[in-house]
Every structure is written in structure tokens, then in C-alpha cells.
Amino acid sequence: MTSHFDYHDRTLCADHTPLTAIAEQFGTPCFVYSADALSESFASYANAFAGQDHLVCFALKANSNLSIIRHFARLGAGFDIVSGGELQRVLAAGGDAGRVVFSGVGKSEAEMRLALEAGVLCFNVESVNELERLNQVAGAMGRRAPVSLRVNPDVDAKTHPYISTGLKDNKFGIAYAEARAVYRRAAALANLDVVGIDCHIGSQLTDLTPLLDALDRLLLLVDQLAEDGITLHHLDIGGGVGIRYRDETPPDLNRYAQAVREKLAGRKLKVLMEPGRSLVGNAGVLLTRVEYLKLGETKHFAIVDAAMNDLMRPSLYDAWHDIVPVSQTDGPAQLVDVVGPVCESSDFLGKDRQLAVEEGALLAVLSAGAYGSTMSSNYNTRARAAEVLVENGQPRLIRERDSFAQMVANELNLLEPR
């Protein structure tokens, strides 16, 4: 629970706006975000790195709603993208392409052209083949592509294996042992400008040690490149800073920033960073209603109207999200699995939770602002959830719930008579 989602008169509120009123107005399931929480999380980075030339690039994969992007753009954020579609979202929301870094292992020629035309700040290149392709595409367009190499430092982030990205057997980045030679190749290509170096070792990191170990390895490489006559202008320290879901202790950003400043002392390197989860994760909840209480012989279930298609993380990672009643009662709690209506045994939001609930009651799944809506789907032909942003005490719909017509719009031609 955070100060932006707290109980008032025994009713859970988003910045003093009762979630009961939001459910009544917009229905469930529904993602609810706090604009103040978004601003506060961004300010925590801006304040920590104050005095250091830096750019905070919000990682769109965490939450790519246009209103969320616009909110961060107004705060001065840059953006980290991993697809041409995400670039189009940034531009549609009024973001500046010149503050965008384009990451990802599988950029297509079409995506490269789109990014070059828009004028992105940098391509984070992840393989030699990508480097060669980008050089060809830029040459054909009469452009020069600004590049950094995403270096894989072979540092264990000690996180869930599905969100670890900095080890030798991960698909991401260029092997540390090969990076110096690949930089030399990049510097020799006619249509590339080598401008930086990038590293991202994983997600939901709660220990600063792996992040700082990776930084040490990058800086050693920066010095070696300088000996080769390759001068870099920025260092991208990636993202991955964790949040509190259950009992984690998130890293101290001020301590992290101070350690980065000390390691970069005397160097003329701008610092880029790519936070996602830590900017939006605890700024949102998933609001859902209990449809049935099913009391089994060995298990009790609270069957709700949200499901794995709305919040994939528990099914995909066995991730923990705290689940609380929106209206507190004095009724007895019972041990239940909170599950959805999707036809999969993996469809659960939380297992073995002590909850005092009844049919028709509202529940809030906490810490759902990151990787909730962006990973959602129409599985079982279920409408994707609505999204609401609470700003200045007023809830505003920022994504309508899918209609059936929208879900089948691209299939309608198949229904026409032949």
C-alpha cells in the first residue's frame, strides 16, 4: 500500500477518490492509475541524479498508454522503446523522438527506417548483424544512424530467470569479450555515428551490487575504446530497479546516483537510464469484482471478473501481487485462491490469500501499473480492461474497454460472402 492508494473511512481510494465510485462509473475489471504517483516516481530519479548530466528514458514496455506517455513527456522524460509501434505511440502522445533510445534484439528494416526518419536519439544495437543492417538502411536513406552497443557484461542480476538479461546465455546484447572489436567495426562503417554504450542486466533488481558491477565493466571498456580513438558521449546504465510487491526493499536511488557520480568523476559522459517498473508499478491497481465464492473440499476460490488475460504476471512468473478488499468489513477472513474465469488452471491472480469477502465485493490487485495492460490480451475473447487516470482528484477514462466489434474488426472481411 502507498500513500496514493490508501483507506479513508474504510474505503480504498486513489488519491482520495474512492475506488467504489470508479468501479460504479467505469465498471470492472479496470486499471486505475495515480497521476501524482507517476510524478512522484519520476521526481525521485530527477532529484537523485540532479547535478549529473542525465536523461531519464521511461521504458514503454512497462505501460504504453498514450496518456501515461504524455504525462511523462510533460515532466521532461525521454523514452526507451523496443518496437516501431512504441515509437509511433511516443510521437502520437507528443513525445520528442530526439529523446528516444531504440532498444530490442530484432529491429526490422521498416522499424529502422521509421526511427531514422523520426530522428531518434540513439539505436541500442544488440548484434553484429543488426549493426550491418542498420548501416545499409541508413546509407540507402542518405542518413547517419547514431548508435550505442548494448554490451552484455555477464553479470548475474539475481532475479527471476525470465527477466534476467545480462548473462552469457541470455539473448540480449553483445558479449563483453567481443564488444571492443564490434565497436571498432561500428566506427569503420560509413553510415553510423558511434555515440554511446548501453547495458541492461535484468528487471526487478533490489540489490545495487550487480548494477554497479556492470557499470565498472562498462567503464573499463570505455577506457579501452578511448585508447582505440573511439570517444563516447553517453553511458546508458539501463533500468531494472525493483519495487515493493510484498516484502522487497527497493534500492536507494540517492545512494545509486551517488555511486554512479563517483564512478564517472572526471569523465564527460551523459548518463541515460531506462526505468519502467519503478516509475509506474506502484502507481496503479487492477480493480476487480468477486463473481462467485466457490467453497471446495480442499480449496476455496474467489472467482473474480479479472483474469490472466488482464494481468499475466502471476501466471507467467508466479509473481506476487498483494490483493486487498476495496471496502473493509468486520466479517471473518477465509483462505482463498483469487482466480479468474479464463479456461486455464494457470488463471490466478493470487493463491492462499486471507480475505474477508463476499460475492459482489470489490478487490484491488496492487502494484499493477507495470506490465498489466501492456501484456494483456483478448484470450477467450475477453475485452481488455478499461484504464482510468486519477488527476487532481478527478478520474478520467484513458482507455475504453474493448467492444466486441473492436475485437473482431480485423476479421470482418473473412465473414463476408464469397
Contact 22, 14 (CB under 8 A): yes
Residue 410, CA atoms < 13 Å, CB-side half-sphere: 1
Question: What CA–CA distance (Å, rounded) separates 67 from 332?
Answer: 40
SS3 397: strand
Distances (CA, A) of 70 to 6, 39, 95, 117, 357: 26, 12, 7, 21, 37
| Backbone torsion region of residue 181, taken as left when φ is above 0, otherwise alpha when ψ lies between -120 and 50, otherwise beta | alpha
SS3 253: helix
Known binding residues for substrate: 277, 313, 317, 344, 371
Contact 274, 196 (CB under 8 A): no
Which neighbouring-strand residues pair with 124? 148
Q: Side chain identity at 115, as an amino acid letter?
A: A
Known binding residues for pyridoxal 5'-phosphate: 240, 274-277, 371
Known binding residues: 240, 274-277, 313, 317, 344, 371
Question: What CA–CA distance (Å, rounded) separates 68 from 53?
Answer: 24
Just list the catalytic residues: 343
Alpha helices in 27-168 (DSSP H): 35-48, 66-75, 84-92, 109-118, 128-141
Contact 382, 342 (CB under 8 A): yes
